[in-house]
Structure 1
Amino acid sequence: MSNLGKVDRAFFEEYIYPHLGAERDDVTLGPQHGVDFGVFEVGEKAVVTATDPVFVMPSLGFERAAWFAFHILMSDVAVSGLRPTHLAVDFNLPPEITDEEFETVWTTFDREARELGVSIVTGHTARYAGCNYPMVGGANAMAVGDPEDVVRPDGALPGDRVLVTKGPAVEAIGLLSIQFEELLELPDETVEEAKDRFYDMSPVQDALVAAEAGAVTAMHDATEGGVHGALVEMARAGGVRLDVSRDPIPILPGVLEACEFFDIDPWSSISEGTLLLSVAPDDADDVLAALADADVPAADIGEVSEGDGVTVDGERIEHPDVDPFWGTFEEFMGRLE
């Protein structure tokens, strides 16, 4: 197990995958390393479900922190192509949170849920000694819909085009630039550009727009491990090979400069909000056009083929395993103290 961040594939396959409880015929997609969601069927409906920590960073301001926490929870079900519908949430809060601060968190959850049409169906809320920010609980998000409309993470097919939105290190820079603004030794304009990446940290709109625009065969959010990690995970899930080029990938303002300052590799850094897609070749232009109409930067970066692994500009890449964000965050927190 890596010291920080998600467990790696070896740990998952040794300790988690062999112990998944009872086998049930209604489960049509179970746990896999690097796969965003699971699926089970109830009657004629598919229920897409995903579980994540409730991640609240008070230093962002509680409204902004709650917005991000909510969209993290929605993102993994949204990449199924189904619109999120239900949320169950558990808050294990640190003792120091005030009633007013929690009210801001909860009313923000309510506002964002109403906008997406998500109903909060159950939960648990309490203060406990020993609980600390930013991990203040967990939640289970769901999307209910037609099984035929589910975009499976293992659906990429040879001949499909590979698309990406927003580019690398969106989350890493959105969070680091706000958290450590006072330490940034960059021009003021660049700092503001880096901070502006914060509200790019949701792939929900990207996924729903793309799924409605054409034959999307697989989608994956570029979380820990960044763009490189997500490419490897998508190829592994589908049992296919991805051959991509880096040049067409959009890079948002402020990202590269901030990555250089924080000394992190943009391509292996966490990038919640960046979406990878495989799309039937005849529909790729329609999906790109729909994303452009929604003001989502996107590009066609390569092709799915038979085989395995990922090549970037002709060179094979492997999964980063350890995301540089966590170590950098810990280092710069120490500089603030």
Structure 2
Amino acid sequence: MSRYARITGTGSCLPPRQLSNADMVELLAQRQIETSDEWIVERTGIRSRHFVDDGVFASDLGVQAARQALKAAGVDAADIDLIIVATSTPDMVFPSTAAIIQHKLGVAGCPVFDVQAVCSGFIYALTVADAMIKAGTATRALVIGAEVFSRLLDFNDRTTCVLFGDGAGAVVLEVSDTPGILATDIHADGKHVGILCVPGHVSGGQILGDPLLKMDGQAVFKLAVGVLEDAARAVLAKAGRTEADIDWLIPHQANIRIMAGTARKLKLPMDKVVVTVDRHGNTSAASIPLALDHAVRAGQVKPGQTLLLEGVGGGFTWGAVLVDF
């Protein structure tokens, strides 16, 4: 029997504190930095985002999203034999956030690890989990994207601090004799490290370098649309499908202009694109599973539909996954 991996449950978690653009304008005004709701919306499509409170970590958001996904799939945490967490904002240097989530779920024994590919992290993690299920080393995986990007933001830089938010999304991936994940395609080009990074690290009890997010927005935009189109066409070719087979495009929720540009290149109308960036901002590795869960619970995404998931992130990393849901 052929082994395939299918998504059987989705879940998500947003911290309760929501900041509108007006809240961000007020916050930046305290630092004598000017911005406006119009400026933010025009350039990004973002109207609000969620920030964690002090003492809340990526694992706290991730475990709530995981519990929702487990409930939706109708399985217990003890049934999971693989946990992969995509995050760039782990609770600790080590151990992995996946290990912390495993403990918070009250289970032990199965392999757990984090994947660090920034905003492409969920695509990378889903690709790894799919491969492990197909290889027979896992039968039921929990794949989570969880981020607390608010702690990396430079609130003296209006071009970046208005973009990001906190949240988590999760899926349960189970072995099946019918295809679910149809094809995956992941890539990276390290020469672009400098266009999106947090150039700091811990050494000898001190932070060396700059621990706040830096981004060359124009460079990221130019790269993103091209590589997203390439990855989308690659997974369609691998699966023997065409753009006409896509029911929903669920992209990384970075910027509405990047999302619209990708949709145009694939000849998809915007009413086939799941959009949550306006309410959530850019939640990095959490954005795709968050958007997926939102669309499932809103009744947009239905069983039997074909979904194209794709993302780009610092590294520079990018990739896509084609799914029969």
- TM-score bin, normalised by smaller chain: under 0.3
What's the TM-score, normalizing by structure 1? 0.25
What's the TM-score, normalizing by structure 2? 0.26
Does 1 or 2 have the higher relative contact order (CA < 8 Å, sep 6+)?
A: 2
